[in-house]
């Protein structure tokens, strides 16, 4: 490490030490974090220089390398802005001279073009059918086992961790009953909102005659019928909704640590899910969400309103979704622009705080993922929404910088987040120990973030990462029977999953994420459909090429690479089908061998075609007729994954993957510390009697003993120790 590479904290410490010693040394210089800038926007440089305090110190920013000119707002100031004339990689240098003594440091800036316009639109989940054997099992167990378990907990006043009883008590107080007190923690309303939203999503799944699913769904309808009036009774006359505040009689927006916005955001998303479930016929919750959002708009904002932000992000992207939902035809309400403006204001209010909740800098000048991982990725999702909806250049640049830093320096091979230096949060770059936190809610947030990035940039790399997190980090947070879950997801663990947690924030977040499959499978524009996940299912996309289109996928992916997509427009329609070309190589931290990319044997109605590929998608444009079938094969070789040498925990180790699935060794099958020789052959084999049916990876360790690897999502269902990174030397 050279002196110019010193982190700021160490730089300051060295400076103080040498000043105390009376040393006459060159200045210490830090140029700041590597980042991305989206043209024509600027990047905000914050250099730091520490010298001996003698007069005559001079500073100078300059371009060392890059394809175009760089204009600095003030090249002689440590803090300045830079604008770039062309796309490409740049190296900027901050130099400092203290008399004859000089020093310099550099920062790398990647300048990229603005995203395509307009952005894509999400396909929010409506009624759908699953044919995928893989996902039917997982989904059924969530509906039949996990959600009833959560409802049972939340209907039990003894749970004291977010029960329906809090809403009953708040409603009684608002009706004039004295002496009632809050039953659970102040931040517990959202556990119920998440579970209720997950029930709405579960009711969109076609049971296809399964009696257990039908019975569970019927019970869910009764539960929602019981819960909704109780929840609505707890909403204050001005629209505010937080049971603890109502029962304690405390002022609203009292403190950023009370999770007011986080909980309000989850209520808004629950309300939208319920409105979609009922086909717009039941507006009770949606109208309550509008009253809640209007209450926030009336009270928070630029002076003379109140400046405020929540310690836990979440309301920001919920407000954006509410604006989209209303503008998409769920009105009448003309306040969508106000909700979008409030979301941006709440994000813009952050600053002058601490890294833990991402308030250390204005959000548009944050270029590295820091602090609590769930708060961070929820915040970045909200920022991505604002960048997408407004085109704000500073937001675009910050979001791209944060994405690059997160994915290329702080990202687990399973899609998990939260390195472990600060348990729930991010640590230093490349600090990715295998015993780290990896909170389940952070994995859900990773899915949300990558989804917004794909909507903005129309690029399959983001869908690759979404798929990786969904299949490994999120799906692996519940056991196969969906009777237990885990709050943390280390890559080397012997800890079994459990039925509940003292902070059950994940219990509803996991199923609501896993049951939103149509949203993750597709994105669209008026004349294009993007297929982001290959998953046996049937959905209807509204007004594609001017008409509703039923889209049916037939595939056993991820076990098999054959895919057939049948398109049935109500009337012949012209649009472009964008088929994702999976690469699973979107993070610079990991390299797969052998490489695997591309779609093979592509046909339309049995006739071979060779479509163009752009931004990671194969493009097929035609006038589609009812019953047109697009078929192709996805390569699914066994791959060895090598991690960057910058990651200390994975040196001398290798991971295995097949398609989207990362694999584990388990001690119930072998010695997990045995060495896998680099040239040892690896094959796959279907085992129907293992872990509800899995395709395992088989081989031999260097000592000749057999190796058996199982998918990461199926880990720790049989006890013992489970390990992702295998010794290979």
Question: How far, in Å, CA of 650 to CA of 647, rounded?
Answer: 6
Question: How large is the average pLDDT for residues 330-337?
Answer: 82
* Cβ count near 308 (within 10 Å): 19
| Residue indicated by tokens 């203290």 | 98
Does residue 411 carry a pLDDT above 60?
yes
* Cβ count near 7 (within 10 Å): 12
pLDDT at residue 463, rounded to an integer = 98
Under 8 Å CB-to-CB from 549, ≥6 apart: which residues?
529, 540, 541, 567, 568, 569, 570, 573, 575, 624
Q: Which of 117, 118, 130, 242 is nearest to 189 (CA)?
A: 242
Q: Lowest-pLDDT range, 33-42, 180-189, 337-346?
A: 180-189
Q: Is residue 397 within a helix (H) or strand (E), and if so which, with residue range?
A: helix 393-409
pLDDT at residue 6, rounded to an integer = 45
Structure tokens at 505: 């924030």
Question: How large is the average pLDDT for residues 271-294?
Answer: 97
| Residue indicated by tokens 């006890």 | 719
Does residue 5 carry a pLDDT above 50?
no
Question: How far, in Å, CA of 579 to CA of 600, rounded?
Answer: 12
Does residue 23 carry a pLDDT above 60?
no
pLDDT at residue 421, rounded to an integer = 63
Instruction: Decide: helix, strand or coil at residue 572.
Output: coil
Structure tokens at 60: 């100078």
pLDDT at residue 21, rounded to an integer = 47
Question: How large is the average pLDDT for residues 300-313?
Answer: 95
pLDDT at residue 484, rounded to an integer = 97
pLDDT tens digits for range 161-170: 668 988 999 9
pLDDT at residue 4, rounded to an integer = 36
Under 8 Å CB-to-CB from 208, ≥6 apart: which residues?
129
Question: How far, in Å, CA of 127 to CA of 203, rounded?
Answer: 8
pLDDT tens digits for range 671-721: 999 999 999 999 999 999 999 999 999 999 999 999 999 999 999 999 999
Does residue 505 carry a pLDDT above 70?
yes
pLDDT at residue 726, rounded to an integer = 98
| Residue indicated by tokens 């410490």 | 13
Question: How large is the average pLDDT for residues 299-320?
Answer: 96
Instruction: Work out the pLDDT band at 178, boundaries 50, 70, 90.
Output: confident
| Residue indicated by tokens 């160490």 | 10
pLDDT at residue 638, rounded to an integer = 98
Does residue 160 carry a pLDDT above 70?
no
| Phi (first) and psi of residue 298, to 5 degrees | -65, -30
Under 8 Å CB-to-CB from 100, ≥6 apart: which residues?
none
Pairing assessment for the beta strands 101-112 and 35-38 based on DSSP bridges:
parallel
pLDDT tens digits for range 431-466: 999 998 899 999 999 999 999 999 999 999 999 999
Handedness of CA 424, 430, 435, 438 (dihedral sign): positive
The CA-based angle 38-41-44, given to 5 degrees, is 100
The share of the chain scoring above pLDDT 90, in percent, equals 85
Q: State the Rg of the chain over Cα.
A: 26
pLDDT tens digits for range 625-639: 999 999 999 999 999
DSSP state of 143: I
Instruction: Decide: helix, strand or coil at residue 358.
Output: coil
Question: Does residue 632 contact residue 599 with C-beta atoms inside 8 Å?
Answer: yes
Question: How large is the average pLDDT for residues 634-647?
Answer: 97
pLDDT at residue 99, rounded to an integer = 80
Q: Is the pTM of this model over 0.85?
A: yes
pLDDT at residue 159, rounded to an integer = 66
Pairing assessment for the beta strands 638-643 and 653-658 based on DSSP bridges:
antiparallel
pLDDT tens digits for range 530-584: 999 999 999 999 999 999 999 999 999 999 999 999 999 999 999 999 999 999 8
pLDDT at residue 264, rounded to an integer = 97
Does residue 50 carry a pLDDT above 50?
yes
pLDDT at residue 333, rounded to an integer = 80
The share of the chain scoring above pLDDT 70, in percent, equals 95
Question: How large is the average pLDDT for residues 332-337?
Answer: 84
pLDDT at residue 157, rounded to an integer = 72
Does residue 304 carry a pLDDT above 80?
yes
Does residue 3 carry a pLDDT above 60?
no
Q: What is the DSSP string of 593-617?
A: ES-----EEEEETTEE---EEETTE
Looking at every residue in the chain, the average pLDDT score rounds to: 93
Find out whether the peptide bond into 332 is cis, omega within 30 degrees of 0.
yes
Question: How far, in Å, CA of 517 to CA of 512, rounded?
Answer: 10
């Amino acid at each position: 490490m050279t002196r110019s590479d010193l982190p700021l904290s160490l730089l300051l410490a060295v400076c103080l030490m040498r000043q105390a010693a009376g040393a006459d040394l060159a200045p210490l210089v830090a140029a700041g974090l590597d980042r991305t800038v989206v043209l024509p926007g600027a990047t905000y440089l914050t250099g730091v220089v520490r010298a001996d305090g003698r007069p005559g110190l001079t500073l100078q920013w300059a371009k060392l390398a890059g394809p175009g000119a760089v204009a600095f707002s003030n090249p002689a100031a440590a803090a300045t802005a830079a604008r770039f004339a062309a796309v490409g990689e740049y190296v900027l240098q901050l130099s400092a001279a203290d008399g004859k003594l000089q020093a310099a440091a550099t920062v790398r800036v990647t300048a990229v073009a603005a995203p395509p316009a307009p952005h894509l639109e999400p396909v929010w989940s409506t009624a759908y059918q699953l044919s995928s054997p893989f996902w039917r099992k997982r989904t059924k167990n969530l509906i039949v086992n996990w959600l009833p378990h959560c409802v049972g907990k939340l209907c039990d006043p003894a749970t004291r961790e977010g029960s329906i009883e809090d809403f009953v008590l708040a409603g009684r107080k608002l009706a004039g009953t004295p002496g009632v007190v809050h039953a659970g923690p102040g931040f517990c309303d959202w556990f119920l909102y998440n579970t209720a939203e997950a029930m709405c999503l579960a009711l969109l799944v076609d049971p296809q005659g399964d009696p257990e699913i039908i019975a569970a769904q019927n019970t869910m309808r009764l539960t929602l019928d019981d819960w909704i009036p109780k929840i609505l009774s707890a909403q204050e006359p001005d629209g505010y909704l937080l049971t603890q505040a109502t029962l304690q009689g405390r002022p609203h927006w009292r403190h950023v640590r009370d999770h007011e916005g986080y909980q309000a955001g989850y209520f808004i998303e629950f309300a939208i899910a319920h409105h979609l479930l009922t086909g717009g016929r039941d507006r009770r919750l949606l109208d309550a969400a509008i009253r809640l959002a209007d209450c926030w708009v009336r009270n928070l904002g630029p002076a003379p309103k109140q400046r405020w932000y929540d310690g836990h992000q979440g309301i920001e992207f919920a407000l954006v979704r509410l604006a989209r939902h209303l503008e998409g035809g769920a009105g009448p309400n003309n306040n969508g622009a106000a909700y979008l403006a409030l979301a941006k204001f709440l994000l813009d209010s952050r600053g002058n705080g601490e890294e833990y909740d991402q308030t250390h800098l204005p959000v548009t000048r944050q270029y590295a993922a820091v602090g609590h991982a769930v708060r961070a990725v929820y915040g970045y999702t909200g920022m991505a929404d604002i960048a997408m909806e407004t085109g704000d250049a500073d937001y675009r640049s910050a979001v791209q910088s944060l994405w690059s830093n997160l994915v290329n320096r702080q990202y687990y091979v399973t899609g998990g987040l939260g390195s472990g230096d600060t348990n729930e949060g991010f640590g230093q770059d490349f600090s990715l120990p295998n015993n780290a936190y990896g909170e389940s809610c952070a994995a859900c947030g990773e899915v949300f973030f990558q989804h917004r990035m794909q909507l903005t940039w129309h690029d399959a790399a983001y869908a690759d990462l979404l798929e990786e997190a969904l299949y490994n980090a999120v799906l692996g947070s519940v056991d196969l029977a969906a009777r237990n879950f885990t709050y943390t997801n280390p890559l080397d663990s012997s800890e079994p999953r459990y039925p509940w947690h003292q902070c059950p924030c994940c219990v509803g977040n996991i199923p609501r994420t896993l049951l939103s499959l149509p949203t993750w499978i597709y994105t669209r524009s008026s004349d294009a459909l993007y297929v982001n996940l290959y998953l046996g299912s049937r959905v209807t996309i509204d007004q594609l090429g001017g008409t509703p289109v039923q889209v049916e996928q037939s595939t056993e992916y991820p076990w098999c690479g054959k895919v057939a997509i049948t398109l049935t427009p109500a009337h012949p329609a012209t649009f472009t089908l964008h088929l994702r070309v999976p690469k699973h190589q979107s993070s610079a931290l990991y390299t797969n061998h052998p490489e695997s990319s591309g779609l093979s044997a592509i046909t339309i109605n049995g006739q071979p075609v060779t479509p163009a590929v752009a931004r990671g998608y194969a493009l097929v444009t035609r006038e589609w007729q009812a019953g047109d079938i697009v078929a192709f094969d996805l390569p699914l070789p066994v791959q060895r994954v090598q991690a960057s040498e910058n990651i200390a925990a994975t040196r001398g180790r290798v991971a295995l993957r097949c398609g989207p699935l990362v694999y584990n060794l388990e001690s119930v099958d072998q010695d997990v510390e045995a060495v896998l020789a680099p040239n040892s052959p690896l094959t796959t084999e279907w085992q129907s009697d293992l872990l509800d049916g899995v395709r395992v990876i088989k081989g031999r360790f260097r000592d000749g003993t057999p190796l058996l690897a199982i998918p990461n999502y199926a880990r720790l269902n049989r006890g013992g120790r489970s390990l992702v990174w295998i010794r290979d030397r």
